[in-house]
Amino acid sequence: MALTNNKNVLAWVDEMVALTKPDKVVWIDGSKEQLAELRALSISIGEMEPLNEEKLPGCLLHRTAINDVARVEGRTFICTRKKEDAGPTNNWEDPEVMYAKLRKMYDGVMKGRTMYVIPYCMGPIGSKLSKVGVEVTDSTYVVLNMNIMTRMGIDAFNQLGDESNDFVRGLHSKADIEEENRYICQFPEDNAIWSINSGYGGNVLLGKKCFALRIASFQGKNEGWMAEHMLILGLENPQGEVKYVCAAFPSACGKTNLAMLIPPEVYREKGYKVWTVGDDIAWLRIGDDGRLWAINPENGFFGVAPGTNVKSNPNALASTQRDTIFTNVVHNLDDNTVWWEGLDKNPPKHAVNWKGEPWDCTDGSKGAHPNSRFTSPAENCPCISPEFNNPQGVPISAIVFGGRRAKTAPLVYQSRDWNHGVFVGSIMASETTAAATGAVGVVRRDPMAMLPFCGYHMGDYWQHWIDMGKRLGDKAPKIFNVNWFRTDDEGHFIWPGFGDNMRVLEWIVNRCEGKADAVETPIGFEPKPEDINIEGLEDITVETVRDLLSVDKNLWKEEAKGIHEFYGRFGDRLPKELSDELSNLESKLG
Ligand code: GTP
Ligand code: SPV
Ligand code: MN
């Protein structure tokens, strides 16, 4: 039975039913009873496997098809009426052409299947900053994941109300999981997302990247706010004051880890603590006080499993110990639990790998897919911020950009002002990871970590950043860049990273409060090496920090050439402020 009187929702669901022709339609109310039924159903049809109820209560294991393990950027489209509105960094197709092509593929695709109608809210229920979506899908994996990642169920329809038409329409079908017919299509001008032939996270949990970034970035441009690929954390000092920081790193470059950071002992003793508000997406608006405020639109974490362990990220690991869905990890048959590379040094002897094959690690192959994931409720996280559900969000003091760079980028630097900070974000580059299909380890430009997620022309997006800065004036957050991934001649990471990133965060927050010194370099302000606290670190000396902060002018001159080339793609939509910043950098490099 329909759960809403909203005629816009009812008419759209009718249209989707007429197109896909499911045997049955189930409206998801979010009740415990309905979820228990769905879990049982999902297990009975083999989509999920139940895990050890004592060790991992409420947890489930899922394996995707072998050809369907990550986002597919080559098959992701922004369908705006005018091609130039999608910009040079997005795949584009005319909406009418794409709808016509996809309609043929969706026609009758749910025959013999059930359609689930999922109402969900991105952001705290009752917040003016939140937005509602409705996803129809033929996958129980999607329903059970959406239950963790969003505020799902009847509350979302209450938030929408009976009259509003402001909801994002998401259509998903697994179809036959055919790689060559996989499409992830955003129609920003229609508030619509059509996804077909995938059953993997970012392609099918339509509230996440498709809505909360691609559609929302377009909405934000038109409505005067921002949707960003950023974690949000609160850093509490010994006096109990909390400062909030947002950070944008590309996929699999450390957002979840930084968001859940546990400070090193020397900081913990003094009373420092980090609180997690979000680990992947931030929606940012200017508050009544003129400052920038952030909410996390999500309700859970879709985190990278490999490398997560008691040392690197105990908070993430703790979050996965109940009511979690594991995707593409190793199934330990001895005690019906899960394992992944980097969890501990005891791979299970009697196990099944992510492909569903018997596996015992002796052949040298990886048991878990490098992009295997956990979906965990935010409320499981031991350091979840008391402000997590605050409808106002949290005020942001600093914005941090970063990526994986073996050489060029120093450990940390600060931009001279907002527009220079927008420049710093726009020239971000990072080595690619397993979070998207394609080659891994290739350096590519990834402005603001939004290359795969910006729902409109990247030049207009940069202009929007510049305009937001004008509105914020002297209340604008300070902008920084970090790089945890510089390597030595043997390719080892020099900086210990993880909890020790606190040492860099401290300098960042102190800079925001005018409490720390800096030296000017051609690329921006840097700490004096002795101002990064290395107390308690074994292998790091002030000299190592000096090295990590070094700016190689020759590498940066090469970099400037690369930026020219990249900027050239944006034509007259490149804001003049940014080309001026590039000239300025070149003149400072000499
Ligand atoms: P998405 O969920 O794809 O957006 O990724 P993310 O940005 O949240 O990345 P995550 O925190 O899951 O980290 C991805 C990988 O980077 C993991 O293998 C981590 O072990 C590794 N990593 C995270 N932080 C650090 C760090 O400070 N230093 C080093 N060397 N590796 C890190
Ligand atoms: C990312 O790739 O940035 C992720 C995972 O957070 S996904 O949901 O697949 O986009
Ligand atoms: Mn992400």
Which of 71, 304, 311 is the best mutation target for the ligand 1 pocket, counting ligand atoms within 8 Å of the beta carbon and taking the most?
304
Which of 172, 206, 209, 258 is the best mutation target for the ligand 2 pocket, counting ligand atoms within 8 Å of the beta carbon and taking the most?
209
Report the b/e string of 125-157 with b at 16+ CB within 10 A: eebebbbbbbbbbbbbbbbbbbbbbbbbbebbb
Find the 209 Cα to ligand 2 centroid distance in Å.
7
Residues 6+ apart with CB under 8 A from 408: 429, 552, 555, 556, 559
Catalytic residue among 253, 381, 383, 512: 253
CB 291 within 8 A of CB 142: no
d(CA 525, CA 503): 17
Pocket lined around ligand 1, Cβ cut-off 6 Å: 249, 251-257, 279-280, 303-304, 306-307, 312, 435, 484-485, 493, 497-498, 501
Find the 330 Cα to ligand 1 centroid distance in Å.
19
Asked if 59 is an active-site residue, the reply is no
d(CA 40, CA 50): 9
Shortest-distance Cα residue to atom 32 of ligand 1: 254
Q: What single string gives the DSSP state of each residue in 267-280?
A: HHHHT-EEEEEESS
254 lines ligand 2 (CB under 6 A): no
Q: Which pLDDT value is given to residue 425?
A: 98
d(CA 340, CA 466): 42
Shortest-distance Cα residue to atom 1 of ligand 2: 251
Residue 473, both tokens = 């004036």
Find the 451 Cα to ligand 1 centroid distance in Å.
18
pLDDT in tens, the chain (590 residues): 789 999 999 999 999 999 999 999 999 999 999 999 999 999 999 999 999 999 999 999 999 999 999 999 999 999 999 999 999 999 999 999 999 999 999 999 999 999 999 999 999 999 999 999 999 999 999 999 999 999 999 999 999 999 999 999 999 999 999 999 999 999 999 999 999 999 999 999 999 999 999 999 999 999 999 999 999 999 999 999 999 999 999 999 999 999 999 999 999 999 999 999 999 999 999 999 999 999 999 999 999 999 999 999 999 999 999 999 999 999 999 999 999 999 999 999 999 999 999 999 888 999 999 999 999 999 999 999 999 999 999 999 999 999 999 999 999 999 999 999 999 999 999 999 999 999 999 999 999 999 999 999 999 999 999 999 999 999 999 999 999 999 999 999 999 999 999 999 999 999 999 999 999 999 999 999 999 999 999 999 999 999 999 999 999 999 999 999 999 999 999 999 999 999 999 999 99
